[in-house]
Amino acid sequence: MIALPLVMIALLFAALAVAGAVVILVLPFLASALGLVFALLPLAFTIIGIVSCVNSRKSMNLKVLWLIIIVLAPFFGPLLWFVWGKNNT
């Protein structure tokens, strides 16, 4: 009678060890992939903002000003361009 609970406890610990090993092996891959996404997202957003600004019908002075803002602030520059600059300037 005592042996069965001990076997169950041993199996539980073995299952937890396997689950822990899987998490330890998979977590760095997910972290690096997620880090890569968060690193490339502002770059893609900046490139889209630059292309949109260059193709707009704004004057050359406004385009240069917006391009400076977009390049110097890689996430907020394009965000400002799409929210405010594209339609209002």
Using alpha carbons, select from 45, 87, 88 the residue that is nearest to residue 70.
45
Per-residue pLDDT tens for 35-84? 777 778 888 888 999 999 999 999 999 999 999 899 888 889 999 999 99
Using alpha carbons, select from 17, 83, 10, 18 the residue that is nearest to residue 45.
83
- The pTM (predicted TM-score) of the whole model is 0.63
| More confident of the two residues 47 and 25 | 47
- Report whether pLDDT(18) > 60: yes
Per-residue pLDDT tens for 1-14? 555 566 666 666 66
Q: Judge whether 67 and 53 are in contact, CB under 8 Å.
A: yes
Residue 66: count other Cβ atoms within 10 Å of its Cβ.
Answer: 24
Residue 79: count other Cβ atoms within 10 Å of its Cβ.
Answer: 16
